[in-house]
Structure 1
Amino acid sequence: MTVAIRQIGLCFAGEVDGVDIRRPLTSDEAVAIHAGMDRYAVLVFRNQDIDDAQQLAFTQGLGDIEHAIGSSLRAPSEYRLPTTFADVSNLDKDNTPYARDDRRRLFAIGNRLWHSDSSFKVTPAKYSLLHAVSLPSKGGDTQFADMRAAYDALDEETKDLVEGMVCEHSQIYSRQLIGFFDLTDEERERFAPVRQCMVRVHPVTGRKSLYLSSHAGGIVGWPVPEARGFLRDLIEHATQREFVYTHKWRLGDLVMWDNRQTMHRARPFPANEPRDMRRTTLAGDGPTAEQASAAVH
């Protein structure tokens, strides 16, 4: 069956037909999916009755994966899934929802802020693929913001200002925004800030996008209060209704997004209900500063 994609968001996001994730990807399907990601930035695959092995095989058919190591407060002895998956559920290793005051749950509430996956790593993520295994009775939507459209809508003065700008990203910054300060010395060292370019150029389309995230807590060369005020204004601009697609999950959905071109956030849901979401992640191509340098030359 031929891969077909129809737009479902206001200015981006597409729903895919003609792909059965239970089967190995053909080369033509992989090419079509990458082309769809270049155009739509978010792709939705409905009714995918798959297991973890099939999700992982599908992801690896598109590129090299990023392992989920050291990016949450789960200790290795508490992992529910192998490191080929990022466990973004609210469940402990016994598949029980975390207590409301569990620090692992409180840390994960930071995912309700607008962010880009792994922007706090030296080499940030390329694609994220999230599969809905179990859902709460209400809430838990995921919203996506098109950072290409957000860049295009900037005035020329602001475009000039952000060109060449470098930001510092850390999960310490994003968790401070929600009042979470309960980090050990080891965790603070692990989440030390990394530098990312503010403007990214897509390697295929050449289109520019803002690279924003709640993890961004500083701008190199700027006083912190001024930087954080500017970043807050930019995120407010980038998440206006006309730039946002809201995904209302159904069981079996697999949603795939390009972290280079979008931000996203999870929405609240009942704390005592399970929300089992399993994410595989495609690794990025390298530090964004190196990519920017290569684009110039």
Structure 2
Amino acid sequence: MTEVAEKTRLKFERIKPKVGARILNSKDEIMSGELSGEIRDLLEEVGVLVFPQINFTDEEQVKFTNSVGGNAEEVRGEQVFKISLDKNVNKEAVEYLKGSLFWHVDGTMNRIPIRGSVLSSKVLPTWGGNTEFSNCYTAYEDLSPEMKDKIENMRVIHSMWVSQLYHCPEPTLAQLEDWMNKGEDGTGERELPLVYKHASGRRSLILGNTAERVVGLSSQESAKLLHGLREHATSEPYHYAHEWTVGDAVMWDNTGTLHRAMPYDPDCGRLLHRTIIKGESWG
């Protein structure tokens, strides 16, 4: 008698109609690699995937990230980046990480975009510290036809120094020059499309605290457009706030999702481990 093997299927529940899904498969099923294609497809559909208390080790998280698109190296060449405001954990990145309290897209200074990220909770904050996400696919799709036509081919200058002004509005000249020299090419800025065109044909918005100005618009016109689109994209239908439990992992589509950390005690030891998924092109 011939045995018929049954293929593992992805099991999930939607969090909200326009953003997020909670994965219900076991850790072994997720780590098997059999679900990688379905996970990638669902990620693009909903923007954010939650893996409740999956308790990835660093090695497992890297393996999982490789299975869903390839693990990219972090800025200093590491595979796993420790996100903490504790200077004993991440002294060089503390000032940079303060920018994570404001809506952003990771890696806007990179030549190649970060396709997605996986974040695992290791130490909880004493208060606050939820991570908020907004689905910029569905936010784009709900724009009026007139707005879509208006912004279709717009380009935006993204600048590292602009993002740092959110938490340090009166920097020294030395600080400002340091921020302006960040990024892979040492310029601290990059021109990106406002509307990101995915290989699937879907479109999303690239916004956030690094968005300095729209090419060809006045400073006032640019600010009104960028802030208005961000306000739309982060409004309730597209927004999800994740309250962390130790062991949770959250994966998001970085070219189709804005995110930010909610305020928390900087001395509490809050710790998350991040891996990032390789992208292809900004277009």
Task: Report the TM-score when normalising by structure 1.
Answer: 0.83
Q: Work out the CA distance in 1 between the residues paired with 2:31 and 2:13.
A: 23
Instruction: Determine if contact 1:167/1:220 at 8 Å carries over to the other structure.
Output: yes
Q: Give the partner amino acid of 1:55.
A: Q
Number of residue pairs matched? 269
Matched, 1:124 2:113: yes
Q: Which residue of 1 aligns with 2:47?
A: 41
Unaligned 5+ segments in structure 1 are 71-81, 290-297
Q: What is the match of residue 243 of structure 2? A: 248
State yes or no: 1:25 paired with 2:49.
no
Q: Is the 8 A contact 1:119 1:213 kept in 2?
A: no
* Corresponding residue of 2:139: 150
- Paired position in structure 1 for 2:228: 233
Match of 1:196 in 2: 192
Structure with greater strand share of residues? 2
Closer/same/farther in 2, CA of residues 186 and 265 from structure 1, 3 Å limit: closer
CA gap of 1:107–1:21, structure 2 versus 1, over 3 A, is farther
Deviations 1:189-213 (A, max 9, x none): 2242111111122322x22221212
Distance in 2 (alpha carbons) for counterparts of 1:235 and 1:49: 33
- CA displacement at 1:63 relative to structure 2: 2.1
CA distance in 1, matches of 2:149, 2:167: 31
Contact 2:161/2:176 (8 A) holds in 1? no
Give the partner amino acid of 2:181: E
Tell me the residue number matched to 2:265. Answer: 270
Runs (4+) of structure 1 exceeding 6 A deviation are none
- Tell me which residue corresponds to 1:135: 124
Q: Percent identity?
A: 27
Counterpart Cα distance in 1 of 2:272 and 2:29 = 18
What code does the residue aligned with 1:110 have? Answer: G
Would you say 1:167 and 2:129 are equivalent positions? no
1:252: how far off? 0.3
Q: SS in structure 1 opposite 2:13?
A: strand
Maintained 8 Å contact 1:12/1:41: yes
Q: 1:38 to 1:184 in 2, by over 3 A?
A: closer
1:60 matches 2:66: yes
Cross-structure match for 2:4: none
1:18 to 1:240, Cα distance in 2 relative to 1, 3 A: same
Residue 4 of structure 1 corresponds to which residue in structure 2?
11
Aligned residue number for residue 57 of structure 2: 51
